[in-house]
Amino acid sequence: MAQEEYDTDVCVVGGGPAGLVLALLMLRSGARVTVVERTRAHHREFRGEILQPGAMALLDELGVLAGARARGGHEHDRFRLVEGDRVLLEADYRLLPAPYDHLLSIPQAHVLDELLDHCRPFAGFRWLDGRRVGGLVRREGRVAGVTAAGPAGPCTVRARVVVGADGRYSRVRRLAGIGAGRTEAFDHDVLWFKLAAGGPAGGGPGGGPPRDVRVFRAGGSPVLVYASWPDRIQIGWTLPHQGYREIAGRGLDHVREQLCRAVPPYAPLIREQIRSQRDLSLLDVFSSRAERWADDGLVLIGDAAHTHSPIGAQGINLAVQDAVVLHPVLTGALAAGDTGAARLAAFEERRAPDIAAVMRLQTLQSKAMLSQGALATRVRPRLARVLRHTPLYRKVLHRIAYGNPSIRISDGADQADERVNPCRRSSTAPRP
């Protein structure tokens, strides 16, 4: 099969939220963009489908939120940590200003398909799915593209800059020889699975508010539960790191009964629907930060640059904000004809404080979920009720919901389309 060859301004490896948001922003700024994605059609299962208000606001500004929502999703008003019938902690998103006064549970495929639909009309856009990157193209000591292969055959994409947006186990990062800096800050794993709700979307068995994201505390192993489109309940059972092996070794019946004890309201559905180990998937939870996010001709973004716990549903929020922060840096680098590491490192300089703040917040949230004793079960709920009426409560809620609220989509006024590549402006305009 013949080797295909392509030339582009930006080669984005990874068609997740970070990669496709960046692709759309760069296309709007006049750049040619090729996205290389190893899967096809976003049909794989995704975990972590919750959008925070910060991500919703940016996606709305991009014009993709309404279309993604129209494909299906569920709003959630509150995040609650519960033990039995006692609410230990609560984050009430209804206190935030409309229209982003809620969490949104939405399949990632809906967001990605909508982003892809917005990218396709640009003549400068190329989508190479089903292609796995196998190597980096180097020229004069710098990254100048990628090689990839798949059912459609091998290809080479030559680019002015390569963006590694290929997730926590980033192949681009490894090929570039950049260390991941993994730490076991959270020291737990999460067993994920979905159940057919068996009733009104989000309500689930056993009653309870249908518009809550809940964490059930059960013997030091919290369980995350929330409604997932179209009529599913998504559940994440937190376990000590590598602790699932011992539980699973005692057989599927034992696993089912442990899950039933952890979330009693869903016991009938668990017994009915968890029929094999294939119904469960184990997520290795860890945090990491790449030792550097940029090289000559290369920049890392999203989980490829920094990986976090699923606590607090920050994944998509961070991915979208990363793309928005990188956009003006990358546009300016292309306009100046300088995609060296020193220039691209401005992205890490601008974003690192936000990432550090999220890590600190997630560590506090983890301690709140796992802590035991009188303080956790008796004193803390009373303090939480008092704090709810203070400015501090709203400040913390706003930080969880928005991250860095100063992140805004650049209008590109200081890096106009013609400055990215004056010879190709007509070729990057949307098709009629």
The string of pLDDT tens digits covering residues 105-120 is: 999 999 999 999 999 9
pLDDT at 307: 84
Are both 55 and 117 inside the same structural domain? yes
Whether 170 is covered by a domain: the verdict is: yes
Both 412 and 340 in one domain: the answer is yes
Q: Which of 235, 267, 284 is the last residue of a domain?
A: 284
- 173 plus 39 within the same structural domain: yes
CB within 8 Å of 347: residues ≥ 6 apart: 293, 294, 299, 301, 325, 326, 329, 330
Q: Taking residues 243-272, what's their average pLDDT?
A: 90
Q: Does 152 lie in the same domain as 203? A: no
Does 15 share its domain with 151?
Answer: yes
Co-location of 416 and 307 in the same domain: yes
Q: Alpha-carbon dihedral of residues 308, 312, 318, 319, nearest 10 degrees?
A: 80
| Length in residues, the chain | 432
Residue 93 lies in a domain: no
Is position 83 within any domain? no
Q: Please state which of the ranges 3-17, 194-208, 252-266, 409-423 shows the lowest mean pLDDT.
A: 409-423
Cis peptide before 230 (omega within 30 of 0): yes
Same-domain pairing of 28 and 143? yes
Q: What is the pLDDT of residue 165?
A: 97
Q: What is the mean pLDDT of residues 187-205?
A: 68
Report how far residue 14's alpha carbon sits from residue 129's, in angstroms, rounded to the nearest whole number: 9
- 64: containing domain: 4-71+106-182+287-370+390-428
Query: In this structure, are residues 5 and 156 in contact, taking their beta carbons and an 8 Å threshold?
Result: yes
Domain membership flag for residue 256: yes
Dihedral of CA atoms 245, 251, 252, 258 in degrees, nearest 10, equals: -70
pLDDT at 411: 65
Number of domains making up the chain = 2
Q: What is the mean pLDDT of residues 376-389?
A: 62
Q: Which of 154-163, 352-361, 420-429 has the highest mean pLDDT?
A: 154-163
Segment 183-194 shows an average pLDDT of 75
Does 99 map to a domain? no
Confidence band, pLDDT 50/70/90 cuts, at residue 431: very low
In whole angstroms, how far apart are CA 269 and each of 48, 106, 178, 198, 312? 21, 22, 44, 8, 26
Shared domain for 229 and 255, answered yes or no, is: yes
The average pLDDT across 175-204 equals 73
Its pTM surpasses 0.75: yes
Q: What is the pLDDT of residue 209?
A: 41
Backbone angles phi, psi at 88, to 5 degrees: -85, -40
- Indicate if 211 and 340 belong to the same structural domain: no
Q: Do 222 and 276 lie in a common domain?
A: yes
CATH number, domain with residue 249 = 3.30.9.10
